[in-house]
A and B are shown apart, each in its own frame.
Chain A
Amino acid sequence: NAGVTQTPKFRILKIGQSMTLQCAQDMNHNYMYWYRQDPGMGLKLIYYSVGAGITDKGEVPNGYNVSRSTTEDFPLRLELAAPSQTSVYFCASSYFKGTSVYNEQFFGPGTRLTVL
């Protein structure tokens, strides 16, 4: 299994440009997440999905959009990039049953994004 994969690894954007960060997992996990991590900070949840067709906002959703048309893929769209979106973006997935407390997340390698 490849686990959680992300593309691209690095990207430089100009202010106002748009791009899509790709994320895929092959573990048949139902939950998927997008986080951003700024230097010296923890992980901030941007969006998450509990299954195909269902997404919800996290702590810092402004400036981002997501979709989840399949179990495997969870792309993150940046519209009108701003310098404040310079960060490292991590995608994660987990298998979660609503009747349990177990929710161990597996992370992709990350995308380092710079907006100039």
Chain B
Amino acid sequence: QKEVEQNSGPLSVPEGAIASLNCTYSDRGSQSFFWYRQYSGKSPELIMSIYSNGDKEDGRFTAQLNKASQYVSLLIRDSQPSDSATYLCAVGGERGSYIPTFGRGTSLIVHP
């Protein structure tokens, strides 16, 4: 049974700060990693995907992957109140195992 663990939070950060969201996974063969943002009452929206060790940057978002430690994180720079949402980590299994497993999500609150 693949497991994806996230701290449920809430993680509270002041506006302008860096928010750091973390995710660990159990399947060492996992090859694909996703971060989805979900506003209250809305559907998940893909914001980042990462497939190789290291950092991937897209605007204010940086995804970091460390396969040796089975750890993936999402950094949000210059956090805005509009970033307040639940962030879901999803992990895809070995090549050919195409169904991502989702964590429970971390609630982020950015206060002015």
| Interface positions of A (Cβ within 8 A of B) | 31, 33, 35, 40-43, 45, 48, 58, 90, 96, 98-110
Question: Within the complex, which residue of B46, B95, B102, B104 is in contact with A101, where a contact is CB–CB below 8 Å?
Answer: B95
Is the pair B42, A109 in contact by a Cβ cutoff of 8 Å? yes
With contact pairs A40-B8, A42-B88 given, residues A104 and B46 touching in the complex (Cβ less than 8 Å): yes
With contact pairs A42-B103, A104-B49 given, residues A96 and B44 touching in the complex (Cβ less than 8 Å): no
Is the pair A98, B100 in contact by a Cβ cutoff of 8 Å? no
**Contact residues in A for B100 (Cβ distance below 8 Å):** 103, 105
A114 CB to closest chain B CB, in angstroms?
A: 15
Is the pair A101, B31 in contact by a Cβ cutoff of 8 Å? yes
Name A's interface SS. loop
Name B's interface SS. loop
Is the pair B43, A43 in contact by a Cβ cutoff of 8 Å? no
The total of chain B residues at the interface (CB under 8 A) is 24
A-B pairs, 6 with minimum CB distance? A42-B102, A107-B43, A101-B31, A42-B104, A43-B102, A101-B32
B71 CB–A CB distance under 8 Å: no
With contact pairs A40-B104, A42-B104, A42-B105 given, residues A98 and B44 touching in the complex (Cβ less than 8 Å): no
**Contact residues in B for A100 (Cβ distance below 8 Å):** 95
Is the pair B98, A98 in contact by a Cβ cutoff of 8 Å? yes
A111 CB to closest chain B CB, in angstroms?
A: 10
Is the pair B45, A102 in contact by a Cβ cutoff of 8 Å? no
Is the pair B44, A90 in contact by a Cβ cutoff of 8 Å? yes
